[in-house]
Amino acid sequence: MDIRFNPSRPDADTLVFAVSKGAVETLPLTASPTLIAGASAARFTGEAGTSFESFAEEGGKVLRVVLLGIGGGSEADLERAGGALTAKLATSGAVHAAVEFPGGVTGKDAARLAFGALLRGWRIETYRTRQPEKAKPTLKMVTIVSADAGSEWDKLSALAAGVAFTRELVSEPANILYPESFVERCQHLKELGVKITVLDKAAMTELGMGALLGVAQGSVREPRLLALEWDGTDGAQEKPAVFVGKGVTFDTGGISIKPAAGMEDMKWDMGGAGAVAGAIKALAGRKAKAHVVGICGLVENMPDGAAQRPGDIVTSMSGQTIEVLNTDAEGRLVLCDALTWAQKIYDPEILVDLATLTGAMIVSLGSEYAGIFANDDGVADGLIAAGKAAGDPLWRFPLSDAYNKLIDSPIADMKNIGSRYAGSITAAQFIQRFVDDGVKWAHLDIAGMVWADKPGPVWDKGATGYGVRLIDRFVADKFEG
């Protein structure tokens, strides 16, 4: 879908009037009184994301007319309105919609509505060979009738491209997206100025990444560690902010195999790595004035004859030993080596990992919030504030020595699972053992957020792109504010 800005109304087949809550203004149409009366009868009041649809004759042709509620005009309201517009018109038969603001609008607000429309318009059609005619998308263009949004739209369209990239990665099936092909999908980021570093199995073996390699040893797909570095400060920000993503491109659970029902969902167990890659694309695309590194630990967890067994002991890159009691608690094994390497190579002051780590997080928070654990209140507060502003909400959970003791092993330095209780917390405690002293760290368990079983305000059913807007806003607030 193409988004354009034009100071005057184009020749479109659909007219959309964005109206504030409680202020359905006189519309610039001869049929204005009838439309307003109809909207009132339908109880349309302009609440964000609501709409009223009708048809009117104007200039000798019949046009579809939509009144679109923008609520109080906040960023969230405008995004919701844009998303609702796309959801309503995407397969409606409308081809070109022109959006006007009878009450006036700033370029910034116009860009925000367009951003919501663009986010909601993403869908994956790669593998469809037949589709009912009425299910096919028809909306090709949305023209925002306002002054050019300029640099604001440049930033938001780059952010939307990052979200779309994450959704693409998360949506792909595991026979298409695996560690090596994930790396290939990221190669185009070089064109944006991103420096790419890739470690193969041999390099990771030499570095002693026994935890990550243990997860990968049951698959014919070789693991990769991918680093994406963007420096928009020309070296002025010496220590980068580092974001590390869990990238298990398919998770059977290994020898501790998952139930068959629903296992197909485990193609999105690389949602953390997908979010990191999309965020780097967004930051580079908008030329963020920050130094940021995204690291993706990429493996496939399979149960063949060479697979890791429950009871095995592996040695991590940090030198700490791990008793693997459950091969389905694999994400933390991938992250621990990726975090150790990240700290050794980049010496970050701020380190954040994102992972679809535990089913226990979904039990706790459902699909409304991701969980956050942190060793620094400032970083935690910054991430929570960024998530709230960006629409990627977080809820903080505790860390303490009492929980930490639950993963002590009688035979190794630690075990990779605790008891059946506090599963998300003990997973975070495990990861914290690999964070160096003095590093400000946060762990985001995004298990319930990367995939949606029903449409949301700015996403369709499927991959949500969670984490990209969060990282982008956090970087903007922390380093560019």
- Residue 246 shares a structural domain with residue 300: yes
The two three-digit tokens of residue 275, written as one number: 């979010």
The pTM score is 0.96
The confidence score (pLDDT) of residue 444 equals 98
Q: Which of 89, 120, 148 is the last residue of a domain?
A: 148
294 touches 276 (CB < 8 A):
yes
- Residue 142 shares a structural domain with residue 231: no
How would residue 28 be classed by pLDDT, with cut points 50, 70 and 90? Answer: confident
The confidence score (pLDDT) of residue 306 equals 97
- Residue 119 shares a structural domain with residue 176: no
What does the pLDDT look like over 71-97, one tens digit per residue? 999 999 999 999 999 999 999 999 999
CATH number, residue 420:
3.40.630.10
- The CA distance from 291 to 286, in Å, is 13
CATH number, residue 106:
3.40.220.10
The confidence score (pLDDT) of residue 335 equals 98
- Residue 404 shares a structural domain with residue 459: yes
- Residue 87 shares a structural domain with residue 214: no
Q: Which residues pair with 396 in a beta bridge?
A: 372
- Residue 202 shares a structural domain with residue 77: no
DSSP 247: E
Q: Is 332 a catalytic residue?
A: yes
* Residue 419 CB coordination number (10 Å): 9
Amino acid identity of residue 67, one-letter, is L
Could you give the number of structural domains in the chain? Answer: 2
Task: List the catalytic residue out of 258, 287, 289, 388.
Answer: 258
- Close Cβ partners of 350 (under 8 Å, ≥ 6 residues apart): 241, 242, 379, 439, 440, 441, 478
Q: Which of 126, 148, 170 is the last residue of a domain?
A: 148
Q: What is the mean pLDDT of residues 392-413?
A: 98
What does the pLDDT look like over 335-363, one tens digit per residue? 999 999 999 999 999 999 999 999 999 99
DSSP 240: P
Q: Which of 124, 148, 172 is the last residue of a domain?
A: 148
- The CA distance from 276 to 296, in Å, is 7
Lowest mean pLDDT across 8-22, 170-184, 277-291: 8-22
Task: List the catalytic residue out of 112, 286, 332, 469.
Answer: 332
240 touches 346 (CB < 8 A):
yes
The confidence score (pLDDT) of residue 204 equals 98
- Residue 180 shares a structural domain with residue 251: yes
The two three-digit tokens of residue 380, written as one number: 């935690």
* Residue 377 CB coordination number (10 Å): 10
- Residue 412 shares a structural domain with residue 297: yes
pLDDT at residue 301 is higher than 80:
yes
Domain span holding position 81: 2-148
Q: What is the mean pLDDT of the chain?
A: 96
- Residue 102 shares a structural domain with residue 205: no
What does the pLDDT look like over 113-125, one tens digit per residue? 999 999 999 999 8
- Residue 326 shares a structural domain with residue 416: yes
Q: Is 224 a catalytic residue?
A: no
- Residue 187 shares a structural domain with residue 312: yes
- Residue 144 shares a structural domain with residue 178: no
